């Protein structure tokens, strides 16, 4: 479905800025905002609901290249702790 909207310039500029900060096109960002409104109106109440939401969004198991998540997390932590400070 295609919908045309006449946005006030201030709102359009704010949305463009937010989209650019996430490296998203404006229509993609607006779609993301609209799709998350259900979560904002009905916040998750338990860890099980959060896991179910992450599964429905494809976040869980989205990194098939990580076979050992604990080792991966240890490696990330080690790199963060030993990186050069600038």
Residue 68 lies in a domain: no
CB 52 within 8 A of CB 59: no
**What tens digit of pLDDT does each residue of 15-67 get?**
999 999 999 999 999 998 988 887 778 888 999 999 998 888 888 888 889 99
CA 24/CA 52 separation, integer angstroms: 26
Residue 48 lies in a domain: yes
* Predicted local confidence at residue 38, as pLDDT: 77
Query: Number of structural domains, the chain?
Result: 1
* Predicted local confidence at residue 84, as pLDDT: 82
Which structural domain, as residue segments, surrounds residue 38?
7-60
pTM, rounded to two decimals: 0.51
Helix H segments across 22-82?
26-35, 37-41, 47-56, 69-82
Residue 13 lies in a domain: yes
Residue 75 lies in a domain: no
CA 84/CA 67 separation, integer angstroms: 28
> Which single residue is written with the structure tokens 């702790």?
81
* Predicted local confidence at residue 83, as pLDDT: 87
């Amino acid at each position: 479905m295609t919908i045309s909207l006449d946005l006030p310039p201030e709102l359009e500029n704010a949305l463009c800025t937010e989209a650019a900060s996430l490296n998203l096109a404006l229509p993609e960002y607006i779609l993301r905002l609209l799709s998350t409104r259900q979560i904002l109106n009905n916040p998750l109440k338990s860890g099980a609901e959060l896991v179910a939401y992450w599964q429905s969004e494809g976040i869980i198991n989205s990194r098939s290249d990580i076979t050992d998540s604990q080792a991966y997390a240890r490696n990330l932590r080690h790199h963060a702790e030993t990186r050069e400070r600038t």
